[in-house]
Structure 1
Amino acid sequence: MEQQLLGYEHEIYRLDHAEHIVGRLDRVAPQILRTRQNLMTRPPEQIRPYLRRVEFESIAYMVVFEHDWSLASALKERWRLESHTFYLPCGEMTITLQDVAYQLGLRIDSDPDRQSQTKWTVKLTWFHNTVCGELEQDVTKERLMRYTRGYIIQLIGGILFPDASDSRVHIRWLLLLEDIDACGRLSWGSAVLAWWVQYRPDNATGESRLRQYRRMLNGIGMLNVEWTPYADPQLVGIVPSAIAEVDASAAVVCPLLCFAIVEWHQVDRVVRQFGGL
């Protein structure tokens, strides 16, 4: 079975004229992405102003949500490593900087950080239990800042930049949190996208819902897709202006940097997502 899966992985990312990849999906054992344990809760009101300064307020309120791992697994099967796109019957799609800005509220139009990396990591539970303990009634500004940095580092290691350990975070991120205002000016969105296009979560068993999603994705046609969801006039006045103004930055072909990781933002392959043909 292992050899069968390895051969299938080679085929799924190769375009050919004989058969679309969706015709081979039911010939191998399904693989479901495993659930990650998330200990985070929504932030206390006292640190909201600090999260707003670093532009992490939106992502902080997304820590409590349910993952559909079967759907994520079905999409992962169609991910092409060469182009960083999902290969579907209706054409190629991908996650763009525009998606990161609108969905996560992260900045995408500033310089990414290029500091060197080290090998040291710390358990996320240490930040959760030690740094982010219960806040006192007469809490000091220094304590709020320490709590905010501990909370943000949990967002970084637990949601935005997870690794295979599922439980640790690299201490290199702490250097970026020393100056909260400077941290808020970094291009976190492009770093997140660079990280996720190369991230490979582990797998677990399960298959019924995955097969259902496979059939659903197999039937998607050109007219079933809302290619430009952010062009909806109803979003005007709802989406913050700072996010709505990123459209020009989001439509460029450029490298995405996250420390030593360099990936390409290949939006020229998915021009329909920006109103093209």
Structure 2
Amino acid sequence: MARTRSLGRAISRVIGRDKKDDHDAVDVPKRRRPTALARRQRVHQMTQDVPDMTEDVPDMAEDAPEMTGDVQGDDGAEGSHADDAEGFSGGPRDPSVLTSFADHVAHAVWSGHVTLIGRPVPEIEGLVGATGLSPLIGCSVVTGDPGLIFAFVERWHSETSTLHLPIGELTLTLDDVSSLLHLPITGAFHNFHALSADKAIFLLTELLEVSAEEARAEIARSRGAYVRLGWVRDIYEMRCQARQWIIAARAYLLHLVGCTLFANKSATYVHVVHLDAFRDLSQSGGYTWGVATLVHMYDQLDETSRTTT
């Protein structure tokens, strides 16, 4: 694994043990915000340091958006003008820097396509707590570090179910699930069977009490036995308003596991099959959720570690 001085300096600064290194001071340039002004200044520096690249530099400068002056935002940082018309609400104001941000899960959250329910209403806290899934309330797929996850995926080997790290081989066990997520690892197993579209519609109408037309439209939208997390959230809010607490608890729990234990790469949909585990909430707490989590994670790591995924 390659070592970088900048990473070590960053870590040492966080823990308050920064040691000055003359070589680092020379090799590592001062970090600046990726604004158009900063890019033009870097291009100007390149023209001075590398004369034989002069012909290519103007093309790089022409690609940068024009700025009439040094724009400072409320925080005093260059290029963070609060009145910019372009950009994303709650996200980067300069789309030319983060060109793929439109497909980022954070954009989906800010635009309302993916929203988190938060803590359950007091009337169903007991029902949710009895399932053993309450520790997941503070977790979410959008709070993870995608770069860190991908780093582990690249080091996963399905033949041995281990992570090959510089420190040696590492495996994830039920004890890790219990210690980190505080989920039960003993109890009964719940069998999840493959669902057809008709079976998924039946589960939605039976357990969430939505109309067959609404369930059919939602299933057709996802082209499979999946429903949108935002749609499940709306069902939860409507059932809370109608004081239908059992149904509200089912919708809440389906949304919860869809954002955490059984999250997929869409970060938008949850499989309807998990709803069957909340048919009888008095029995849901007896399931080995920790085992299901570990098995699901192993399957997903095996899938994502393939080049075809």
Match of residue 217 from structure 1: none
Q: Aligned partners of 2:295, 2:117: CA distance in 1, in Å? A: 26
Match of residue 122 from structure 2: 45
Decide which of 58, 81, 99 is 2:176's aligned counterpart. 99
**2:245 matches 1:144:** yes
Decide which of 262, 277, 286 is 1:176's aligned counterpart. 277
Aligned partner letter, 2:291:
S
Q: Aligned partners of 2:230, 2:300: CA distance in 1, in Å? A: 22
The Cα of 1:163 is off from its aligned counterpart by 2.7
Contact persistence 1:131–1:150 (CA under 8 A)? yes
**2:194 matches 1:89:** no
Q: Aligned partners of 1:134, 1:114: CA distance in 2, in Å? A: 27
Higher strand share: 1
Q: CA 1:192–1:40 in structure 2 vs 1: closer, same or farther (change >3 Å)?
A: same
The Cα of 1:87 is off from its aligned counterpart by 0.5
Match of residue 127 from structure 1: 232
TM-score by length of 2: 0.49
**2:195 matches 1:118:** yes
Contact persistence 2:141–2:260 (CA under 8 A)? no
Which stretches in structure 1 are left out of the alignment for 5+ residues? 1-21, 24-33, 204-277
Report 1:245-264 matches (<5 A). Answer: none
Match of residue 185 from structure 1: 286
Match of residue 155 from structure 2: 78
The Cα of 1:128 is off from its aligned counterpart by 0.8
Contact persistence 1:153–1:173 (CA under 8 A)? yes
Aligned partner letter, 2:118:
R
Match of residue 239 from structure 1: none
Match of residue 221 from structure 2: none
Q: CA 1:71–1:170 in structure 2 vs 1: closer, same or farther (change >3 Å)?
A: closer
Aligned partner letter, 1:186:
Y
Question: Percent of counterpart pairs with the same letter?
Answer: 24
**2:256 matches 1:155:** yes
Kindly provide the CA deviation profile for residues 225-269 of structure 1, in whole angstroms up to 9, marking residues without a partner as x.
xxxxxxxxxxxxxxxxxxxxxxxxxxxxxxxxxxxxxxxxxxxxx
Contact persistence 1:85–1:93 (CA under 8 A)? yes
The Cα of 1:153 is off from its aligned counterpart by 0.3
Q: Report the secondary structure of 2:143's partner residue.
A: coil
Contact persistence 1:132–1:150 (CA under 8 A)? no
Aligned partner letter, 2:256:
L
Aligned partner letter, 2:129:
R
**2:131 matches 1:54:** yes
Q: Aligned partners of 1:83, 1:105: CA distance in 2, in Å? A: 26
The Cα of 1:115 is off from its aligned counterpart by 4.1
Q: Report the secondary structure of 1:111's partner residue.
A: coil
TM-score by length of 1: 0.54
Size of the alignment, in residue pairs?
168
Q: Aligned partners of 2:139, 2:194: CA distance in 1, in Å? A: 28
Q: Aligned partners of 1:74, 1:116: CA distance in 2, in Å? A: 32
Q: Aligned partners of 2:299, 2:251: CA distance in 1, in Å? A: 26
Q: CA 1:185–1:134 in structure 2 vs 1: closer, same or farther (change >3 Å)?
A: closer
Contact persistence 2:105–2:267 (CA under 8 A)? no
The Cα of 1:89 is off from its aligned counterpart by 2.2
Q: Aligned partners of 2:281, 2:304: CA distance in 1, in Å? A: 33
Q: CA 1:132–1:95 in structure 2 vs 1: closer, same or farther (change >3 Å)?
A: farther
The Cα of 1:64 is off from its aligned counterpart by 8.6
Aligned partner letter, 2:122:
E
Which stretches in structure 2 are left out of the alignment for 5+ residues? 3-103, 197-224
Contact persistence 2:153–2:304 (CA under 8 A)? no
- Runs of 4+ with >4 A deviation: 34-38, 200-203
Q: Bigger CA drift: 189-198 or 158-167?
A: 158-167
Q: CA 1:178–1:189 in structure 2 vs 1: closer, same or farther (change >3 Å)?
A: same
Contact persistence 1:42–1:63 (CA under 8 A)? no
**2:256 matches 1:166:** no
Q: Report the secondary structure of 2:270's partner residue.
A: strand
